[in-house]
Each structure stands twice: as C-alpha cells, then as structure tokens.
Structure 1
Amino acid sequence: MKTLMVFDFDHTVVDDNSDTWVIRCLPGQTLPDSVKNSYRKGHWTEFMDRVMGYIGEQEVSPERVRSVMETIPFTAGMTELLTFISEHKGSVDCIVISDSNTLFIEWILQASGLRGAVDRVYTNPAEFNQRGHMEVRCHHSHGCQHCPVNLCKRQVLEQFLSEQSDQGVEYRRTFYMGDGGNDLCPTYCLRGQDVVMPRKGYSLEKLLAKLEGQEDNGASRAKVIAWSSGDEILQELKASMQS
C-alpha cells in the first residue's frame, strides 16, 4: 500500500503567496485602490480574475507574468522533499490542492524541475484569452459552509480517495501539509493512522490547537505534527515508509 502526500501550495510548497507575488510584474508593483477594494470575503478567485484583467490591461505580456512567477522562492527543504518523492513514485503518490491557479502552479513546478513529483494538481483553472489577459475561474461549486465558494479541499480529497479506491489503490497513510484556514476542512476526513502537518506559526496550527481536546472535532483522529521546513516532513515520510 502506498503513502499519499497532500500539499497546499502557497506558504507551504512555496514560501509566499503566488497570487500576491504576481503583482511584481506590474511596473509600479502595486494595484489601484479600485481593484484592491473590490475584494469580498470568501470570493478571492473572482478578485484574482479582476487582478489579472488589470495586469493584462497594463499590457504586461504573458511571458512577463510567467517569468516573474518563476522567481517565487520555495519553502526551505521543499525541493529536497519533492525530489525524494519523485524518486519514490512506486511507493508515494503526491497531489496538490490549492487556492492558486493552474498556470501559476504549473509554471513554478516546471521551472524548478519538480513537476514530476506531483501526480495531480487541483486548483482554479486559468488561461489566457485572445487579448492576452489571464482569466481565472472557480475550481468547482460546493455546499460546504466552512470553505470559500470556489474550493472545498475536503470534497476534493474525498473524491480523489474514492476514485483511487475504485481503481484498487488504498493508502496505508496520508500526510496533509498546509498552513491556512482553508486547510482545516480536509483534515476532518483523515483517519487515525494519518498525519496532518500544519506549518508552525500559521493559521492551521492555531486552529488545530483550539480543536485539541474537543469531542467530535474530527481532526483529532489524525496525528498532528507541526513543521517549519520540508526537511522535517521528509524525516516523517522516511520514518513512515520504514515502519
């Protein structure tokens, strides 16, 4: 039975927010208030669609956007972790579930030479239209009251596990790595032998700490191990594979 590694992307695989990093491609590296103030809570994807529309209107080329995105730094130890995963594809599967978008993630992983480590990416679809402006759409619609309107990571993870099970693939252990509030929901479908790994000092770690000791919180079924570098995740993965 394989091990499944599930990663968030922003502030997890990469050490920044890809959606805010893209602003660096603008000449003044800032957005006008008319765009900034258009954000509504829980509707980040629609906001990013407007941001990318504005960037396109400033005649920033797709090539310029890509070159800027390829400079985003990886979190410490993450390249080594993903390299290890790519070298052990027979025993480790790896997916990304992210609130970023397809183009950003593909560009960043391809530029680093690490795309082969990731089997599937679940995120918001993005493409350039005929005018050369990037358009970003919601990943899916869902009925979860706890997640942003564009993406419920629990629903994505449960569907992935169900599809794998239908194909005869069962995982002896699942590791979930994330940092943000939207990474809490998928931890509720983890089992007792699974591990949720929140990044130290970020929202997910604090949310899990609040839930600790509460009855029926769901997330407590999985072991919680906080991390600050990919090296620590790699150590846990290696230990699990040897047990």
Structure 2
Amino acid sequence: MKFLLVFDFDHTIVDENSDTWIVKCAPAAKLPDEIRNSYQKGRWTEYMGRVFRFLGDNGIREEEMKRTMTAIPFTEGMKDLLDFIGKHKDSFDCIIISDSNAVFIDWILKAANVGQVFNEVFTNPASFDGCGYLTVENFHIHSCARCPVNLCKRKVLEEFLENHLKQRIKYSQVLYIGDGGNDLCPVMCLKKDDVVMPRHGYMLQKMVSQLSQDLVPLEASIVTWSSGIEILAYLELLIK
C-alpha cells in the first residue's frame, strides 16, 4: 500500500503567497487602495478577480505574469523533497490542494520541472480570456462554515479518498503538509495512523496546538517541519 502526501502550495511548496506575489507586475508593484480594501473575509477568489482585472486594465498580459510567477522562491529544501518523491513514486501518491489557481501552480511546477511528481492538483480554475485578462473561478460549492466560500479542503480530501476506495485503493497513511488556517479543516478528518505536518511558526501549527489546549486533540500524529529536508528525512524512515 502506498502513502498519500497532501500538500498545500503557498508558504508550503513555495515560500510566498502566489496571489500576492503577482502584485509585483502592477504599476509600482502596488495595488490601489480601493482594490486592497475591497477584500471580504472568505471571498479571496473574488478579490483576486478584481486584482487580475486591474492588471489587465494596465496592460499586464500572460508573458509578463508568467515571467514574474516563475521567479517565486521555493521553500528551503522543497525541491530536494519533490525530487525524492519523484524517485519513489512506487511508494507515494502526491496531490496538491490549494487556494491559489491552476494557471499559477502549473507555471511554477513546470518551470521547476516538478509537475510530474503530483498525481492531481485541486485548486481554483483559471484561464486567460479573449482580451488577455486572467480570470479565476471558485473551485466548488460547499456547505462548510469553517472554510472560504470557494474551497473546503476537507471536502476535496474526503472525496479524493472516497473515489480511490471505490477503485479499491487504500492508503496506509495520509500525510498532510501545510501551513495555513484553511489547512485545519482537512487535518481534522485525518485518522490515528495519519500524520499532520504543520510548518513551524505558521498559523496551522498554532491552531493545532490550540486544539490540544482546548481538549479537542487531533487523531493524527503531529510532526512539525521548517524545511523540505526535514520532511524528506521523515519519508525516508517510512519506506526503509
């Protein structure tokens, strides 16, 4: 049986937020106050739609956006980790569940030659329209009150596992690697043999720690990490 590795993207695989990194393309690398102040909690994808319209209105097109996005730095040791996973695909299936968008993630993974490591990427659909503007849509509809309106990562993970069970594929362990507040919902559904791997010093680690203090501990084991090399060392022990 294989292990399933579930990755967040921003501040996990890459060491930045891809959606805020794109602002480097804007005039003077800044957004006007009316756009910056227009964000409503849980409606980030709609906000990014306004950002992309602003960039399009200022003549920023696909080539410049791609050049900017493919310069985003990877988290320390993450490329080594992905190379390791790629060499051991007989042991690991690997997916991304991210609140970024399909265009950015595809560009970044292909530029780093690591796209083939991932079996599937679940993120907000995006494309360029006939005028050359980047557009983004919500990933799905859900009823989870914890999550932003466009994406409940728990629903994605549960449906992925359920679909694989129908194909008689059961993973020996699920390992969830993330950093942010929207990663708490999916790790709540992990079982006692699974592992949640929150990035040290980031929101997910603090929220997981708070659960223990509130006497709502996770079933899964908790292994924190600061670099991809630490995750790699943990995976090496799993397949020895």
> 1:193 aligns to what?
193
Q: 2:226 aligns with which of 225, 228, 231?
A: 228
4+ residue runs over 4 A deviation: none
> 2:236 aligns to what?
238
> 2:57 aligns to what?
57
Secondary structure at the counterpart of residue 225 of structure 2: coil
Aligned equivalents of 1:213, 1:164: Cα separation in 2:
34
Letter in 1 for 2:123: T
Give percent identity, aligned residues only.
50
> 1:99 aligns to what?
99
Instruction: List aligned pairs for 1:29-44, cutoff 5 A.
Output: 29-44=29-44
Pairwise CA distance, 1:214: 4.2
Letter in 2 for 1:29: A
Aligned equivalents of 1:57, 1:26: Cα separation in 2:
10
> 1:136 aligns to what?
136
* Structure 2 unaligned spans of 5+: none
Aligned equivalents of 1:28, 1:44: Cα separation in 2:
23
Pairwise CA distance, 1:51: 0.3
1:111 aligns with 2:118: no
Secondary structure at the counterpart of residue 143 of structure 2: coil
Deviation string 1:83-110 (CA, Å, 9 cap, x unpaired) is 1111111110000000000000000000
Pairwise CA distance, 1:206: 0.3
> After the TM superposition, which of the residue ranges 161-170 and 10-19 deviates more from structure 2?
161-170
Aligned equivalents of 2:131, 2:100: Cα separation in 1:
22
Secondary structure at the counterpart of residue 28 of structure 1: helix
Instruction: List aligned pairs for 1:74-85, cutoff 5 A.
Output: 74-85=74-85
> 1:156 aligns to what?
156
> 2:11 aligns to what?
11
Deviation string 1:146-196 (CA, Å, 9 cap, x unpaired) is 000000000000000011111111100111011110000001111111100
Deviation string 1:111-165 (CA, Å, 9 cap, x unpaired) is 0000011110000000000000000110001000100000000000000001111
Aligned residues: 240
> 1:204 aligns to what?
204
Secondary structure at the counterpart of residue 239 of structure 1: helix
Aligned equivalents of 2:200, 2:43: Cα separation in 1:
26
> After the TM superposition, which of the residue ranges 206-215 and 74-83 deviates more from structure 2?
206-215
Secondary structure at the counterpart of residue 184 of structure 1: helix
Deviation string 1:19-42 (CA, Å, 9 cap, x unpaired) is 000011123100011111111011
* Structure 1 unaligned spans of 5+: none
Aligned equivalents of 1:41, 1:210: Cα separation in 2:
22
Letter in 2 for 1:228: S
Aligned equivalents of 2:131, 2:185: Cα separation in 1:
37
Secondary structure at the counterpart of residue 193 of structure 1: coil
Aligned equivalents of 1:190, 1:214: Cα separation in 2:
18
Aligned equivalents of 2:164, 2:91: Cα separation in 1:
14
